[in-house]
């Protein structure tokens, strides 16, 4: 299970409306275990808040290429400025040559946002591996 602690971000806050929409990209860095790429597309949801759809690529599991697809519901706590974002995530693991498997990523429940173009989180016990990984995304 994922355990997430918000990584505090220091940055310039946005003077605008605090919109999360756009294409975000970056990586998941697990130190000695390596880093993999992550992409996230965020759009406004019809009922308010935001909806994100992303992928983590570059994994090798059980000797095969693998990736994770992530669907997120994202809620801001404030209208604008740096803040913690509330996240509800559903994850699917895809290992080449195998059927997709649902992953429990219910603990991935927060992202830090600088109010502009950076999001980050620290994920403990990434995919049950025991590794602590940093997620860093920019728009």
pLDDT at 17: 58
Tell me the per-residue pLDDT of 22-61, one tens digit each, with 9 for 90 and over: 999 999 998 888 899 999 999 999 988 999 999 999 988 8
- Between CA 105 and CA 123 the distance in angstroms is 10
pLDDT at 90 exceeding the cut of 70: yes
Q: Are residues 138 and 25 in contact, defined by beta-carbon separation less than 8 angstroms? A: yes
What band does 5 get if pLDDT is binned at 50, 70 and 90?
very low
* This prediction's pTM: 0.83
Task: For residue 28, list its beta bridge partners.
Answer: 36, 135
CA distances for 33 relative to 30, 46, 61, 89, angstroms: 5, 39, 12, 23
Q: What is the dihedral of CA 68, 73, 76, 81, to 10 degrees?
A: 30
pLDDT at 128: 67
Percent of the chain with pLDDT over 70: 85
What band does 12 get if pLDDT is binned at 50, 70 and 90?
very low
């Amino acid at each position: 299970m994922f355990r997430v602690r918000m990584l505090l971000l220091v940055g310039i806050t946005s003077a605008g409306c605090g919109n999360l929409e756009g294409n975000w990209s970056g990586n998941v860095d697990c130190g000695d275990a390596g880093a993999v790429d992550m992409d996230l597309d965020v759009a406004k949801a019809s009922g308010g808040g935001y909806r994100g759809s992303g992928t983590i690529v570059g994994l090798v599991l059980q000797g095969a290429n693998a990736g994770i697809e992530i669907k997120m519901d994202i809620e801001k706590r404030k209208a604008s400025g740096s803040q913690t974002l509330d996240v509800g995530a559903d994850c699917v693991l895809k290992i080449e040559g195998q059927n997709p498997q649902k992953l429990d990523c219910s603990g991935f429940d927060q992202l830090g946002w600088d109010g502009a173009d950076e999001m980050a989180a620290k994920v403990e016990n990434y995919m049950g591996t025991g590794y602590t990984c940093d997620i860093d995304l920019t728009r």
